[in-house]
């Protein structure tokens, strides 16, 4: 979890640029954290995995709202 917490500010900035809503940002980052925990954290390039996961979660949220 230390890796995730170290990346959290970057993930929040990424989600904020994509979503704009603080509530949506926190939800997307929390969902990424749950996915990270479920797989036990990837061994190679964890920052890339987390950024990609947050970006995809944000895109899913944008698509679902029709924005």
R_g over Cα of the chain: 11
Indicate the helix (H) or strand (E) that contains 39: helix 22-39
Mean of the per-residue pLDDT values of the chain: 91
In sequence order, the 6+-apart residues with CB closer than 8 A to the CB of 26 are: 12
- Please state the pTM of the whole predicted model: 0.89
In sequence order, the 6+-apart residues with CB closer than 8 A to the CB of 45 are: none
pLDDT value at residue 53: 95
Contact (CB, 8 A) for 33 and 6: no
What are the domain boundaries of the chain?
A: 2-65
* pLDDT tens for each residue of 13-42: 999 999 988 999 999 999 999 999 888 776
Binned at pLDDT 50, 70 and 90, residue 54 comes out as: very high
Burial class (CB in 10 A: 0-12, 13-18, 19+), 65: exposed
């Amino acid at each position: 979890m230390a890796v995730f917490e170290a990346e959290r500010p970057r993930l929040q900035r990424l989600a904020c640029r994509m979503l704009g809503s603080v509530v949506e940002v926190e939800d997307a980052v929390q969902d990424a954290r749950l996915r990270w925990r479920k797989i036990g954290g990837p061994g190679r390039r964890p920052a890339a995995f987390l950024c990609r996961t947050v970006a995809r979660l944000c895109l899913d949220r944008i698509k679902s709202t029709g924005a």
